[in-house]
Amino acid sequence: MTLENIKLDIDYVRSQFPAFKDPLSKDWSFFENAGGSYVPKNVIDKLTEFMTSTKVQPYAEYPMSKIAGENMDKATHLFAKMINAKSNEILIGGSTSINLYVLSNALKHNINKGDEVIVTNQDHEANISPWRRLKDYGAKIIEWKFDSNDHELKIADLKKLINSKTKILAVTHCSNIVGSVNNLKEICDLAHNNDIIVIGDGVSYAPHGFPNVKELGVDFYTFSLYKTYGPHLALLYGKEEILKNLPNQNHEFLKGQYPYTINPGGPNHEELVSLIGIYEYFENLYSHHFDNKNISILDKIDKINDLISLHEEYIANPILDYLDKREDLNLIGKKRIINKNRAPTISFYSNKKTSKEISHTLHKFKIATRNDNFYAWRCLKYLGIDTNDGVVRLSMTHYNNIEDSEKLIKALENI
Ligand SMILES: Cc1ncc(COP(=O)(O)O)c(C=O)c1O
């Protein structure tokens, strides 16, 4: 990463998020970002604007409707640009779980008896269950297990699982428990050499840097927009050449009009339009830090991603260092963030106290966190952790500051 010594202006960042001034939340250090993030004021403004002046059925010729439709298209177009996709490769659905169930329902037609589908035990269940269900259509389900010593998914292990029958591989770009960033590009190269379709779950990755889906080479990629500073929606990207051949799951007359063919019904209009606010926020973030205005959205996203990653390293490494030193606490995943190898999503459990006890105590220090299995119950089970009590997860994002980290370490010291 080369950023010519430019650092994220954290005061500017926090000034964009009303939650940091709200009486209910302002005194809390927010460590639950992997569950859902705060939204910048641009998103709230776009939502309010839509609800105030264009809350009508879109795409008719009268102005309120015309503008509503134009803004819906604009939101999709901008998000496509931000992740290097085409607008007709983007589908906005209610959640990642819904998007993946709908996708697996479409891909089941590609499955013949005896075909193999690879899932991991590191993923959130949203990218496991829909693929495991292909068993009902004759697929054999193969599990790519992570290494129980360092908690990493090893590509050498994947190589042993792939054969001429493998048709689908569902894998997380970043686990919501382990936090490691998996090398999705290398995984895709390997899979494509064997004609395997790859579905990447970017839910825990995208809040820390929007992906370049073409560079990754992934066939399908999904992330939850409510964790990337937006409303409760999720984005599904699919390569055009695959999308256009999937069966129509929408109304009969929409046949051929991909990507609308994948999801029955359309997206939530007002929330879709509010995504323009995420784009505006990132544009403002770019302009606040960099001079060169004449570069593409994608290049701007690239620079902001670097800026954010450096800040996240700065705020998360002291916590990782601290947890690693505590003999009574077990840190899951990599012990340091070095050059984007890990998200600041930090899970641990104690030898002495339940995760519930720890998270309750942290609340007393105004640290917003929780204990859970976070739906990655196969991951926890494999590690021998009680899936009811789960782990304590401290998930940060770029609007957290070093004061949050210091407050957390002090609180953990007290527990
Ligand atoms: C890694 C990961 N994948 C998938 C999901 C499911 O996302 P959604 O809540 O949008 O269905 C989550 C949600 O927490 C997640 O963390």
Q: Report the CATH number that the domain containing residue 393 is assigned in CATH.
A: 3.90.1150.10
Distances, alpha carbon 54 to alpha carbons 58, 60, 270, 305, in Å: 8, 12, 9, 33
The CA distance from 345 to 396, in Å, is 6
In a domain, 259, yes or no: no
In a domain, 312, yes or no: yes
Whether residue 285 has pLDDT greater than 80 = yes
Q: Across residues 373-390, what is the average pLDDT?
A: 97
370 lines ligand 1 (CB under 6 A): no
Sheet with 391-395, strands from edge to edge, namely 329-331, 345-350, 391-395, 370-372
In a domain, 192, yes or no: no
In a domain, 407, yes or no: yes
Coil, helix or strand at residue 200: strand
State which of 91, 224, 373 you would mutate to test the pocket of ligand 1, scoring each by most atoms of that ligand within 8 A of its C-beta: 224
Proportion of the chain above pLDDT 90, given as a percent: 97
Q: Across residues 98-127, what is the average pLDDT?
A: 97
pLDDT tens for each residue of 289-324: 999 989 999 999 999 999 999 999 999 999 999 999
Ligand 1 centroid distance, CA of 65 (Å): 33
Distances, alpha carbon 79 to alpha carbons 209, 273, 294, 301, in Å: 13, 11, 19, 11
Q: Which atom of ligand 1 is nearest to the CA of 94?
A: 10
Sheet with 116-120, strands from edge to edge, namely 90-93, 234-238, 220-224, 197-201, 166-172, 116-120, 140-144
Report whether the peptide linkage leading into residue 23 is cis, meaning its omega lies within 30 degrees of zero: no
Ligand 1 centroid distance, CA of 373 (Å): 12
The CA distance from 121 to 55, in Å, is 43
pLDDT of residue 2: 57
Q: Across residues 220-234, what is the average pLDDT?
A: 98
Q: Which atom of ligand 1 is nearest to the CA of 35?
A: 14
In a domain, 281, yes or no: no
Ligand 1 centroid distance, CA of 242 (Å): 23
Indicate the pLDDT class of residue 6, thresholds 50, 70 and 90. Answer: confident
In a domain, 376, yes or no: yes
Coil, helix or strand at residue 85: coil
Per the prediction, the chain carries an average pLDDT of 97
The residue type of 45 is: D
Ligand 1 centroid distance, CA of 287 (Å): 31
Q: Across residues 41-56, what is the average pLDDT?
A: 98
Indicate the pLDDT class of residue 101, thresholds 50, 70 and 90. Answer: very high
* Structural domain boundaries, residue 326: 10-38+297-414
Q: Across residues 105-130, what is the average pLDDT?
A: 97
Whether residue 337 has pLDDT greater than 80 = yes
In a domain, 336, yes or no: yes
Q: Which two tokens stand for residue 415?
A: 């527990």
In a domain, 313, yes or no: yes
Indicate the pLDDT class of residue 5, thresholds 50, 70 and 90. Answer: confident
pTM above 0.95, yes or no: yes
Beta bridge mates, 200 = 171, 221
Structural domain count of the chain? 1
